[in-house]
Amino acid sequence: MTVRLIPYEALKAKCIPYSKPHLWRLEKASKFPKRVPIGAGRYGYVEEEIDAYIAQKIAERDARSARDLVPCPAQNRGTLMGQKITEQNVEWAKIVTAILPEVNAWLSEKDPDPDNDGVMRAYFVLQAAYDEAHR
């Protein structure tokens, strides 16, 4: 098996733009592959280890994404974004889901400029719909 060493400058081509001091800190903390001395003041990195590091980062990202889809642990059940889930919240969600296409259409007709408080107006439309449903 042939081991290919790549210089520090080649790391940027692999989307690793860290400075040398930052890489040294990561190496010291065992969070990045260690350099291989190849001469006086010259170092290289084992390309396979760098590729494995990148693959690990991708796997960590994917694990975080999957974890976000998993139901909350037992201590967080019954909450949504830190708020207690109540029947009122569930009803609110049903109403929002039902009228969201209408709100989007209304906003695009009345307010084509998305920076012009459209979100606040959408909130008031949703609040009015909720109040109407609970009279």
pLDDT digits (tens, 9 = 90+) for 53-108: 999 998 888 877 665 554 444 444 454 445 555 666 666 666 666 766 676 666 66
With 80 as the cut, is the pLDDT of residue 131 above it?
no
Per-residue pLDDT of 2-37, as tens digits, reads 899 999 999 999 999 999 999 999 999 999 999 999
Q: What's the pLDDT score for residue 74?
A: 46
Distances (CA, A) of 54 to 15, 61, 114: 9, 11, 38
Q: What's the pLDDT score for residue 60?
A: 86
With 70 as the cut, is the pLDDT of residue 116 above it?
no
52 and 16 in contact (C-beta within 8 Å)? no
DSSP E strands, the chain:
5-7, 36-39, 42-46, 79-80, 83-84
pLDDT higher for 131 or 117? 131
Q: What's the pLDDT score for residue 45?
A: 96
Q: What's the pLDDT score for residue 92?
A: 64
Give 36's strand partners. 44
With 90 as the cut, is the pLDDT of residue 43 above it?
yes
Q: Computed from CA positions of residues 13, 16, 22, 24, in that sequence, does the dihedral angle turn out positive or negative?
A: negative
Quote the CA–CA distance of 50 and 95 in Å, as a whole number. 50
With 70 as the cut, is the pLDDT of residue 120 above it?
no
pTM: 0.49
Q: What's the pLDDT score for residue 110?
A: 59
